[in-house]
Structure formats: structure tokens, C-alpha cells
Homo-oligomer: A and B are copies of this chain.
Amino acid sequence: MPKTQPTIRDVAAAAGVAVSTVSKYINGTQRFSGSVEAKLKAAIDALGYRSNPLARSMITGKTRTIGLAILDIRNPHFTNIVKGANRVALQHDYTLLLVDTEESQERERPLIEALAQRVDGMIISSRMPDDAVQWLLELSKPVVLFGRSQQFPIASVGTDGHLAASMLARHLLNLGHRRIAYLGFAKSRWNDERRRGIADCLQKAGLQLDVHDAEAPSAIAGERACSAILLGSSQPDAVICYNDLIALGFMKEARELGFRLPQDLSVVGFDNVSYAEYASPALTTVDLQSEKMGELAMTKLIAALNGSHDDEYAMLEPRLVVRESTMRRPDTSQPAGVTEMTPKTAGGRRRTGGQGA
């Protein structure tokens, strides 16, 4: 059973030609006389020869493999990225070497360094601080990053987080919401951008943003953070979550706390993961085009592999997806930019002094 695979040499012998001839034939590097070509073809499938990619790689220095390092394959955002990247890779005859770093800072670096050795280039999603990008460059392999680097020129892709956040905030404002909370995830590279996008918007309307932080970008973290926000003193009438997963968890817990959604509270997230649509109420969110991000990253990387220089940040456009988790404040009538005035508490603004002690 463990019959050793035939080598290029066996084929050459069987066909009565030189090894280099076989090599050139396999790689289509050259044209051949009909007789030789016929003999080669015959020999090859008589022996069932398959070229050994390792040996080839060793010489060419190319593996036709792309490393993809992500934080958690279970997060649909990353799943979509993988899907998109995979599709483009397959089209170009590349294979994906996947590394799930499991949101662990320590594992990340050694894993990526090991990965670098086995691939032609890498696509990386990471929570590493911006100055750590340095050593990525030192790997001297083409790399595409998710999220812009402030200091270093490195190919990267992302979606305009400030804009996405503004869209969400403005949507809520238009619906008459005035006490808006942001349940962020500070560890993420995207968090600041999103928070600022919201805060800027609110500021123009003379409002302040109530900021909280989730301990993970997951549904369970959303559940956990819920009561402190909803039953605390700020009493938001809308909350923007760092992502859809957090939002989903938040909504579940909110319902269990007795809030009616969306009547008592509007909730939104970022990403537009597919299950947001099947939640109830279906989640209003902003589509970050995760899958396209994956495609674009892979396209950029392959271009780099083909010699094109690329230090740019490619920014995709977000799109607001309004569903059922947001609705107009029952007690307001003016569209937006109005003097805010909520009935429950006299004297507007926020910081009402809380009833929950």
C-alpha cells in the first residue's frame, strides 16, 4: 500500500527523455514535438505521477499558499472575511493556511512568525498596538492588514468606521432618540473610530454620549453588560453596540429585564452578520461588507505577490440596514436637531439622577 510516489525521474525514464523535459512539460514552460508530448502524457498517467509541490516550492521560493490570521473564526464577521478571501484565493489557485489566534495576544506573534515561513504572503486581523506593526514589516513577506496603521505604510483594508458610526447615530437621532449609549469594545482597533463617529454626531445635536465597555466582542458579553447600562442612572433610550454579536446578547438580556424592544429601547450594532436578520426584533445594523473586505484583502495581496507595490488603505463604504430593532421615540414628533425634551425627566440633557439608586 505505501508504494512510494513516482518522481519526475521515473517519468523521464519511462518516457525515455530527460528530467528537465518532463519538468518543462508539467509547467507548460515550453512547446514540444508531438511525439515527445504523447510519450510524456502516456508515461505520466501510466505511472499516476503527481508533481511534488514541496520540491517545487523549495526552488521557486513560492508556496502558492496564503496565511490568514484571524482573531476568532466563530465571529461571523471573520467567517465572512475567510469566505471572501477563500473565494479569491481559489480563483488564483492559492490555498489558505488558517490560523485562529483565539483573541490571545501572546500566541499571536509566535503563530504569525511561524506562519510567515510557510506562505507567500499574509492577511492579518489583529488587536496588536500600532507600533507592533513594525515587526510585521520585518517579516519581509507581503502583508495585508485589516484596519489602517497610523504610523506605518502598509497595505490594509477596512470600512469607514467613522461614517458607519455616524449613520447609526444620525438614524437614532432622526427617530427622536436623545439619550444614547455606546457599548463599545475598547480592545479593538476599530473602537475609537466608532465611538468618535457617534460622539461627533451627538455633539452637533448638543448631546453627550454615554460610553460603556464590553469585555469581549461576543453575545455573552453583551448580555453581561446589559443590566448595568439599562438599570443604571443614565437610562438610555437607544444603545449602539460595538458589533452585532454584542447587540444580539444585549437585546436578549434587555427583554429578560422586562424591556420591550423596540418600543422601550432601540438597539443597533455593526457588521450585519446574517443572524441579525433572524433575530426578533430583526437587528438594525450597518453593513461593513465583511466578505468584500476578505475579497479585497486577498486581491491586494495577490497583486503584491505579482510585484505591484501597495501601501494604501482601501476603505469600503458602509451601508445602513434598517430593520425592526429601532423605532421612533413614541413621545417625540420633530425629525431631528430639535431641542431635546423627554417627558420622563424634567430638564433634558442626561444625568437625571437616576431612580435606581
A residues with a Cβ closer than 8 A to B are 1-3, 50, 52-55, 57-58, 63, 65, 73-74, 76, 79-80, 82-83, 86-87, 90, 95-100, 102, 107, 111, 113-115, 117-118, 140, 219, 248-249, 251-252, 255, 274-275, 277-282
Q: Quick check: B73 and A79 within 8 Å, CB to CB?
A: yes
Q: Quick check: A74 and B80 within 8 Å, CB to CB?
A: yes
Q: How far is the CB of A141 from chain B (nearest CB, A)?
A: 10
Given contacts A97-B65, A255-B280, A280-B255, contact A86 B58 (CB under 8 A): no
Q: Quick check: A83 and B73 within 8 Å, CB to CB?
A: yes
* Docked complex Cα distance between A3 and B138 (Å): 11
Q: Quick check: B57 and A86 within 8 Å, CB to CB?
A: no
Q: How far is the CB of A97 from chain B (nearest CB, A)?
A: 6
Instruction: Report how many copies the assembly holds.
Output: 2
Q: Quick check: B73 and A219 within 8 Å, CB to CB?
A: no
Task: Summarize A's interface: helix, strand, loop or mixed.
Answer: helix
Write the chain B residue with the least CB distance to A278: B248
Interface centre among A58, A118, A282, by most B CB within 10 Å?
Answer: A118
* Docked complex Cα distance between A252 and B113 (Å): 45
Contact pick for A73, options B65, B86, B95, B114, CB 8 Å: B86
Q: How far is the CB of A260 from chain B (nearest CB, A)?
A: 12
* Docked complex Cα distance between A42 and B96 (Å): 35
Return chain B residues, CB-CB under 8 Å to A97: 65, 95-98
Besides A53-B118, A252-B282, 4 new A-B residue pairs in contact (Cβ under 8 A), listed by A number: A1-B140, A73-B86, A86-B100, A98-B98
Write the chain B residue with the least CB distance to A282: B252
Q: Quick check: A50 and B117 within 8 Å, CB to CB?
A: yes
* Docked complex Cα distance between A52 and B50 (Å): 23
* Docked complex Cα distance between A65 and B117 (Å): 13
Return chain B residues, CB-CB under 8 Å to A111: 90
Return chain B residues, CB-CB under 8 Å to A115: 95
* Docked complex Cα distance between A193 and B133 (Å): 51
Return chain B residues, CB-CB under 8 Å to A82: 73, 98, 100
Q: Quick check: B140 and A2 within 8 Å, CB to CB?
A: yes
Q: How far is the CB of A252 from chain B (nearest CB, A)?
A: 5
Return chain B residues, CB-CB under 8 Å to A99: 86, 95-96
Q: Quick check: B100 and A83 within 8 Å, CB to CB?
A: yes
Q: Quick check: B255 and A275 within 8 Å, CB to CB?
A: no
* Docked complex Cα distance between A98 and B58 (Å): 22
* Docked complex Cα distance between A52 and B58 (Å): 9
Contact pick for A280, options B65, B95, B100, B279, CB 8 Å: B279
Return chain B residues, CB-CB under 8 Å to A2: 140
Q: How far is the CB of A99 from chain B (nearest CB, A)?
A: 7
Could you jot down 14 A-B contacts, CB within 8 Å? Answer: A2-B140, A53-B117, A73-B82, A73-B86, A74-B79, A76-B76, A86-B99, A86-B100, A219-B278, A248-B275, A252-B282, A275-B275, A275-B278, A275-B279
* Docked complex Cα distance between A58 and B56 (Å): 10
